[in-house]
Amino acid sequence: MKKKGNKKEILNREKMSTIPEVKTLIKIVIGIILILIIVYFLGGLLTGNIKLKKDEEKVEIQYSEILAEQTFKQPNSEYFVIFYNFDSSEKSLIDALSSDLSTIVSIYKVDLSKKFNLSYITNEKSNKKPTSSNELKIYGTTLIRIKNGKVINYVEGLSNIKEYTLGL
């Protein structure tokens, strides 16, 4: 009998024949992984879970709500400032009145329930002739008309504000 080769040669031949099989297996695994990644991204794009562009959020800056300390610091020469609790049951009526007033001149709103505005609220007599925000003493729902930095009208109470706005 003839020997085809010694043991080392036989092992080398076996290794040489398995190397292409291993390379093929690695290529198949990489191909499957790439296909899965492509399918994942396509599925995400189609369902909207993955977005290529960032959605631009429309930012709207509102200038109508101010803090009480800004009452005398508005850029307009004449404007209204209405003080009320934004969470009150009167809100819809006050918003309607504010809308009517805004056709005359600008109107600014102050939420009396905010902590920054609490120091301007009083349970006693209000100051109806303030000359600066330091002198503000607001008692409930109040409408102030300011012209050239001076208070020209000071109306307290929702019913009085309704009457005032109807007279304009």
pLDDT one digit per residue (tens) for the chain, 168 residues: 445 556 666 556 665 666 777 788 899 999 999 999 999 988 888 887 777 776 667 766 667 899 999 999 999 999 999 999 999 888 999 989 988 888 889 999 999 999 999 999 999 899 999 999 999 999 999 999 999 999 999 999 999 999 998 887
> Which of these, 21, 25, 22, lies nearest to 33 by C-alpha position?
25
Q: CB–CB of 80/142 below 8 Å?
A: no
Strand order in the sheet with 65-66: 65-66, 106-111, 78-84, 142-147, 150-156
Residue 111's DSSP bridge partners are: 84
The confidence score (pLDDT) of residue 59 equals 67
Q: CB–CB of 142/83 below 8 Å?
A: yes
The confidence score (pLDDT) of residue 1 equals 47
Full-model pTM? 0.63
The length of the chain, given as a count of residues: 168
The confidence score (pLDDT) of residue 3 equals 52
The confidence score (pLDDT) of residue 48 equals 77
Burial-class residue 102 by CB neighbours within 10 Å (0-12, 13-18, 19+): middle
> Which of these, 29, 28, 9, 5, lies nearest to 17 by C-alpha position?
9
The confidence score (pLDDT) of residue 8 equals 61
